[in-house]
Structure 1
């Protein structure tokens, strides 16, 4: 037992001022030994932990007797918010059958006792220990060809779509021989959209620039993704991305800092003038693919999103730069979408909209497709967004977003630092998120979570499909020249719960007409936050228990 748990034990021993709430009988240990009980609401079983190491036993508030210790040895804390923390103390002499008495503690004592429990019991752990920790170095391919061998011309004017298609078709034959590499030397290689193949490395040499054609006829029209039903910009189809992978495995896009330039200005102008019939294309998109690596590449002027892995698993994005002008519409950076086991690290992203944004489908289509984004690790990134957020979740999150670790973030010169966005009709959830070690500078709104992001693919959405937003932790954050510290606006029928704020300091660009924190339909817990947050996130409440456990446990305890 550590010093903190021992101190809690000492503070509660011998307390006689706590009124008896309910008695239960149990043939337990010896007389006079004090134990801690966590009793969950709604008649749920929870652990009873002896702080001095005696067997774990447990029960619930309404039961007539406790379960035997051997039945509860591996029982985790109930998957509901803990409502009561009780003291258990033997009161009958040894000459009679031992019995136990439950007595209710006040809530502040309860939180301290929960701290003791989190140290004494095998905890429920935050599952994301860091996807980026498990990445492995790239192995060289045994076969390699140059795009020059297929008639490509790097003058910036000759269209090379067929050359890329033919080269990749040829390299497909090496899939069962360890795969192959397509080498793109220095030059300006104009192309329309093309598809990759499995077990392929696309390598861009320093000085190599793959240019997206500005002729719409060089981009195939495809239908919307099944988890979206419609495109988010324009209803209907969309232009296929410049570089595509569908149902692939083991694909690498890398180089010696080569460049992929979407030449997006023509697309942005057409979008602003409402002249487009279909949604703008992305630069790189992988669909239903596994074991994907994108590294050491610069992305410029994407017509829409830069990197979009959707329905993918095992995705690594590292050491990339993505840049689009501040006024470019919907030019998001990296967009993991209904994907799992994703690492994003050591990158610099400066775009017109969200720099990194996690998604998982739109309204009834995302609910039906039911594929979440989960187990994502983001670290050591510099993010800037002119009209969006540095890091965002949603608003298309109907398949769910969970188990996200984002750490060592540098957010600057942005409209919003970190944002969660959803609305009625989305369903789904955003939960179990840890955002820590963040530096912000020159940001209008440091943290925002809103349930009023009302955009829908059609009129078929169910307004009663309410999203769940819970257990989102913001920890160790410093911000300078911030206009508004935080805005939390939940949904009345589905408030945002367990919003945890710890060790946060914002230097506010003071305006007497503004408030540092704005909150509605939200609850949580906070410690060491400046300026002082809303009462909803700074007072003791049932919702704050999960935050308290999470913030004070060495093992990042979470009630999942």
Structure 2
């Protein structure tokens, strides 16, 4: 009798749910869709993907629908701009490109599913500052969401999802079956005024978010998740970019959570486009094999004025890692990190001058990187295997290292020697356990050493506006 009652109750609940869905469907057909969100700019025109033949069944390809919608809406670029709404559903698609003065908005129950049909992924030239594809020399697949030479472009939502279905690509990568470099989820090149926000990114084929040769960028409120063994699934990679703000992001990655880059060896040196004026704040990272924040290893165009604060790293290989090598050239300087909390780490601080991966054999062995002005303060870490591994380059030491107000609690099976230092110069103040001799303690009176800059970078003056989407259903 009890089982019959349970079945009856479940049936009634199912009928109620189905009835409410039908009613909601009827309501949407005769009513309207409206919501508000914050963005760097609002749009005068609105349309839904379904207006262009989109089908959200998870099986039908929507590549043509996205391309048709964006092509049509690009006509409004000079008339107040346009926004494309992706409603609830599973929207299978290959790569597509955005336009200027354009917003792509994902409903909270919208899922973009990356196609596993390779014919839907055009091949493009390698990045000029790299000289080749990151995985393969022949070129690279275009990212799922792509754009170049754009102004004022926004990818946002109510925490809608972009699923790269990356296992398909990871398997081919491991089996060396790919002629071209794997695609990223979002890549914008040579663009200005970019916003990527309030989305969930899953299972990227490779890097998740890659702004490159771009400026005035806000990346905010992203949840990025990839299975931990997945190859090169970096979270956010600002690359040869100026004036960038990354904040309020949660990343679980098979590689670095945030990786700051600027080109590779002789190609990056020649291209000469640095990453500078970068803010990273309120980042939470889980990455057992990599860093919460990595600077390099591709840094041949230079990295300068990076400010990271309020960083949480859990079960992550290292907190902040600088990766470079002979042949890189370029520089990493004026780096400021303040307020890091770390749990279960291999290394809190890691710098290496022997990260020897090269684009080809033509790099200049006389091109030595300059690493100086690296500042860390207000750091607490527990269950740490080794406090620091700091390895400069012979005849090219890393200089101006400053570490202050740091407490590191070592793990039960920690290394007997918590610090290793070679070819480095700097100072410390109020650091436990005691650092190596090349980082002499300046005493508690100098606890304010390594001060974080008091001024604001220009990106902090870029404020978000309250925007609205309203569209009637016939």
Q: TM-score, normalised by structure 1?
A: 0.72
Residue in 1 that maps onto 2:93: 191
Residue in 2 that maps onto 1:289: 191
Q: C-alpha displacement at 1:515, in angstroms? A: 1.7
Q: C-alpha displacement at 1:510, in angstroms? A: 3.9
Structure 1 position 150 matched with structure 2 position 52: yes
Contact kept, 8 Å, 1:327 with 1:386, in 2: the verdict is: no
Match of 1:335 among 237, 242, 254: 237
SS at match of 1:537: coil
State the alpha-carbon separation in 2 of the partners of residues 335 and 532 from structure 1.
Answer: 34
Match of 1:456 among 358, 380, 383: 358
Q: C-alpha displacement at 1:353, in angstroms? A: 0.2
State the alpha-carbon separation in 2 of the partners of residues 417 and 378 from structure 1.
Answer: 13
5 Å-filtered alignment, 1:270-289, equals 270-289=172-191
Q: C-alpha displacement at 1:511, in angstroms? A: 3.3
Structure 1 position 477 matched with structure 2 position 379: yes
State the alpha-carbon separation in 2 of the partners of residues 382 and 521 from structure 1.
Answer: 31
Note the aligned Cα RMSD (angstroms): 1.6
5 Å-filtered alignment, 1:34-53, equals none
Greater share of residues in strand: 2
Q: C-alpha displacement at 1:493, in angstroms? A: 1.7
SS at match of 1:166: helix
Match of 2:128 among 215, 226, 238: 226
State the alpha-carbon separation in 2 of the partners of residues 535 and 444 from structure 1.
Answer: 21
Per-residue deviation, residues 63-119 of structure 1 (Å, max 9, x unmatched): xxxxxxxxxxxxxxxxxxxxxxxxxxxxxxxxxxxxxxxxxxxxxxxxxxxxxxxxx
5 Å-filtered alignment, 1:379-528, equals 379-511=281-413, 513-528=415-430
Contact kept, 8 Å, 2:240 with 2:301, in 1: the verdict is: yes
Per-residue deviation, residues 451-495 of structure 1 (Å, max 9, x unmatched): 000011111100110000001001000001111111000001210
Residue in 1 that maps onto 2:171: 269
State the alpha-carbon separation in 1 of the partners of residues 200 and 335 from structure 2.
Answer: 29
Evaluate the alpha carbon distance shift between residue 513 and residue 488 of structure 1 in structure 2; reply closer, same or farther with a 3 A threshold. Answer: closer
State the alpha-carbon separation in 1 of the partners of residues 413 and 399 from structure 2.
Answer: 29
Structure 1 position 351 matched with structure 2 position 258: no
Contact kept, 8 Å, 1:409 with 1:439, in 2: the verdict is: yes
Contact kept, 8 Å, 2:48 with 2:84, in 1: the verdict is: yes
State the alpha-carbon separation in 1 of the partners of residues 43 and 160 from structure 2.
Answer: 19
SS at match of 2:334: strand
State the alpha-carbon separation in 2 of the partners of residues 283 and 551 from structure 1.
Answer: 36
Residue in 2 that maps onto 1:245: 147
Larger Rg: 1
Match of 2:227 among 311, 325, 330: 325
SS at match of 1:481: strand
State the alpha-carbon separation in 2 of the partners of residues 305 and 408 from structure 1.
Answer: 23
Residue in 1 that maps onto 2:80: 178
Q: Which runs of 5+ in 2 are unaligned?
A: 1-37, 456-474
Q: C-alpha displacement at 1:550, in angstroms? A: 5.1
SS at match of 2:73: helix
Q: C-alpha displacement at 1:443, in angstroms? A: 1.1
State the alpha-carbon separation in 1 of the partners of residues 441 and 404 from structure 2.
Answer: 13
SS at match of 1:177: coil
Residue in 1 that maps onto 2:450: 551
Evaluate the alpha carbon distance shift between residue 384 and residue 194 of structure 1 in structure 2; reply closer, same or farther with a 3 A threshold. Answer: same
Q: Which runs of 5+ in 1 are unaligned?
A: 1-135, 541-546
Evaluate the alpha carbon distance shift between residue 225 and residue 331 of structure 1 in structure 2; reply closer, same or farther with a 3 A threshold. Answer: same
State the alpha-carbon separation in 2 of the partners of residues 552 and 391 from structure 1.
Answer: 19
Q: C-alpha displacement at 1:232, in angstroms? A: 2.2
Evaluate the alpha carbon distance shift between residue 255 and residue 461 of structure 1 in structure 2; reply closer, same or farther with a 3 A threshold. Answer: same
Evaluate the alpha carbon distance shift between residue 329 and residue 525 of structure 1 in structure 2; reply closer, same or farther with a 3 A threshold. Answer: same
Contact kept, 8 Å, 2:376 with 2:450, in 1: the verdict is: no
Contact kept, 8 Å, 2:404 with 2:447, in 1: the verdict is: no
Comparing 339-348 and 385-394, the one that deviates more: 385-394
SS at match of 1:319: strand
Per-residue deviation, residues 201-240 of structure 1 (Å, max 9, x unmatched): 0000010001101121111111110000012222221111
State the alpha-carbon separation in 2 of the partners of residues 199 and 486 from structure 1.
Answer: 46
State the alpha-carbon separation in 1 of the partners of residues 452 and 291 from structure 2.
Answer: 30
Per-residue deviation, residues 114-144 of structure 1 (Å, max 9, x unmatched): xxxxxxxxxxxxxxxxxxxxxx954431110
Between the two proteins, the alignment pairs up a number of residues equal to: 415
State the alpha-carbon separation in 2 of the partners of residues 531 and 323 from structure 1.
Answer: 34
SS at match of 1:476: strand
State the alpha-carbon separation in 2 of the partners of residues 214 and 386 from structure 1.
Answer: 28
Contact kept, 8 Å, 2:336 with 2:452, in 1: the verdict is: no
